[in-house]
Amino acid sequence: MTRNHSCHLLDMLAEVPEPRKKKGLRYPLKAMLGVLVVGLLCGHKGYTCIATWLRRQPAVAEALGFRRREKPCGSTFHNLLKALDVVKLEQVLTKWVMTKRQRYPFFETRLTGVAIDGKSLRGTDSEESRRLHLLAAVSHELGIPLAECAVGEKTNEIPVASQLLKHFDVAGTVITTDALLTQRAFCKDILAANADYALPVKANQKHLFEDIRDLFEPLSETDPPEVDARRFENLHIQAEAHLDRHTDVETAHGFITTRTLRSSTLLTPDADWPGLAQVYEYHIERRHIQTAEITHQTQFGITSLPPEKASAEDLLKLRREHWTIENKLHWVRDVIFDEDASQARTGSIPHVMAALRNTAISVLRFAGCTKISQTLREFADTPKLAVNLIHG
């Protein structure tokens, strides 16, 4: 298999532009980047400790393409990562993920969700306003980071999210975000990319929020809920509008959680919102098993998916799976890879290391690893296993 047709990570890393001068070049770029990914997979947190570890791993060094007896030290990695074009690196890593993903069709579902959300790297600055903030897109199905870009100090996530859509093929996917990105311009950009959206609506979109809230409010404060529900159904029948409802119940962590989503097309004929096909109400009831204490939470949302493409059950699933980005990416980077404890601050190094952590996570997900901490311990004992993954 040639490099142009290979989806092996080590081959793809060779496409990252070389920032160093050719004169005196000692270590191949793909070997330098490859060993950082392997080091992360073996439980090492930063490039300095990976450099120290590499000196004790001659077999790993040889397998990755290091030919010199002496191995790169921490300052060699530092100088490389500082000079690296992180935008080009992200493009190459996104290309690898999308190529690899196409070869795993069993990961796809009828509605392919992509969650977009941001994360600040705490260790990059003591002041929150100056911390590096990264916006990532993650596949719902497997928790694989598809693309990521930095949000500059003088902007915010809203314009950057539209740019992120251009970094990978979003056609045929359903974009989910938090309420901050529920913006007309962003929805237009999603539709222009031949994708759909399923987004929450809060008070930052005041009129839309109030219209949806008023739609789902009880028609009568005195009638029993079942009477009000029949009246609401009749209202949809008279208007020839679609109404759907789905409920699921989950028992976990000492709670019985009942989630109910109602979707409606009653507002869409007169809605002034790009591509709006349905609105929904998402209600969560949590009952503490021991104390019987009950809490309620109600959210509202919009989607460009018509009823024939997305039922209430589909929308509830999409809304729940949006939190994949927190559970399978941000949490893993923070807790398992100690990202927030990293003190790397120079230039683009924090962004480069975040991109490589994303890549390590993707390698594990593609390999079917679900217990990441346990897998890292196994790789620490047998690094050759991690090397084989980036070769394959």
Domain finish residue from 313, 330, 365: 313
Write out pLDDT tens, residues 65-102.
999 889 999 999 999 999 999 999 999 999 999 998 87
- What distance in Å separates the CA atoms of residue 197 and residue 187, rounded to the nearest whole number? 7
Q: Kindly state whether residues 213 and 293 are assigned to the same domain.
A: yes
Q: Kindly state whether residues 205 and 304 are assigned to the same domain.
A: yes
132 belongs to a structural domain: no
Q: Kindly state whether residues 309 and 202 are assigned to the same domain.
A: yes
305 belongs to a structural domain: yes
Residue 136 DSSP SS3: strand
Distance of CA 323 to the CA centre of its chain: 9
Show the DSSP H helices in 304-391 as ranges: 312-321, 324, 331, 349-366, 372-381, 383-391
Write out pLDDT tens, residues 13-54.
999 999 988 887 899 999 999 999 999 999 999 999 999 999
149 belongs to a structural domain: no
Q: Kindly state whether residues 260 and 361 are assigned to the same domain.
A: no
223 belongs to a structural domain: yes
Q: What is the pTM of this model?
A: 0.91
Please give the structure tokens belonging to residue 40: 């992360």
User: Residue 261's closest CA among 234, 227, 298?
Assistant: 298
Give residue 2's pLDDT band: very low, low, confident or very high (50, 70, 90). very low
Q: Kindly state whether residues 204 and 266 are assigned to the same domain.
A: yes
Write out pLDDT tens, residues 334-386.
999 988 877 777 778 999 999 999 999 999 999 988 899 999 999 999 999 99
Give the residue with greater pLDDT, 115 vs 155: 115
Task: Give the pLDDT of residue 3.
Answer: 41
Residues 128-156 have a mean pLDDT of 87
Give residue 110's pLDDT band: very low, low, confident or very high (50, 70, 90). confident
Q: Kindly state whether residues 90 and 11 are assigned to the same domain.
A: yes
CATH code where residue 250 lies = 2.20.130.10
- What distance in Å separates the CA atoms of residue 262 and residue 81, rounded to the nearest whole number? 49
Work out the number of other CB atoms within 10 angstroms of the CB of residue 249: 11
329 belongs to a structural domain: no
Write out pLDDT tens, residues 186-221.
999 999 999 999 999 999 999 999 999 999 988 767
Structural domain of 263? 197-313
Report strand pairing: 196-201 vs 278-288: unpaired
Q: Kindly state whether residues 291 and 380 are assigned to the same domain.
A: no
Q: Kindly state whether residues 267 and 358 are assigned to the same domain.
A: no
Q: Kindly state whether residues 201 and 291 are assigned to the same domain.
A: yes
Domain finish residue from 283, 313, 343: 313
Q: Kindly state whether residues 385 and 280 are assigned to the same domain.
A: no
- What distance in Å separates the CA atoms of residue 112 and residue 129, rounded to the nearest whole number? 34
Angstrom distances, CA of residue 269 to CA of 98, 104, 240: 37, 39, 11
220 belongs to a structural domain: yes
The angle formed by the CA atoms of residues 383, 5 and 67, to the nearest 5 degrees, is: 40
Q: Kindly state whether residues 298 and 369 are assigned to the same domain.
A: no
Look over the chain and give the mean of its residue pLDDT values, rounded to a whole number: 90
Q: Kindly state whether residues 12 and 66 are assigned to the same domain.
A: yes
Q: How many domains does the chain have?
A: 2
254 belongs to a structural domain: yes
75 belongs to a structural domain: yes
Domain finish residue from 313, 331, 360: 313
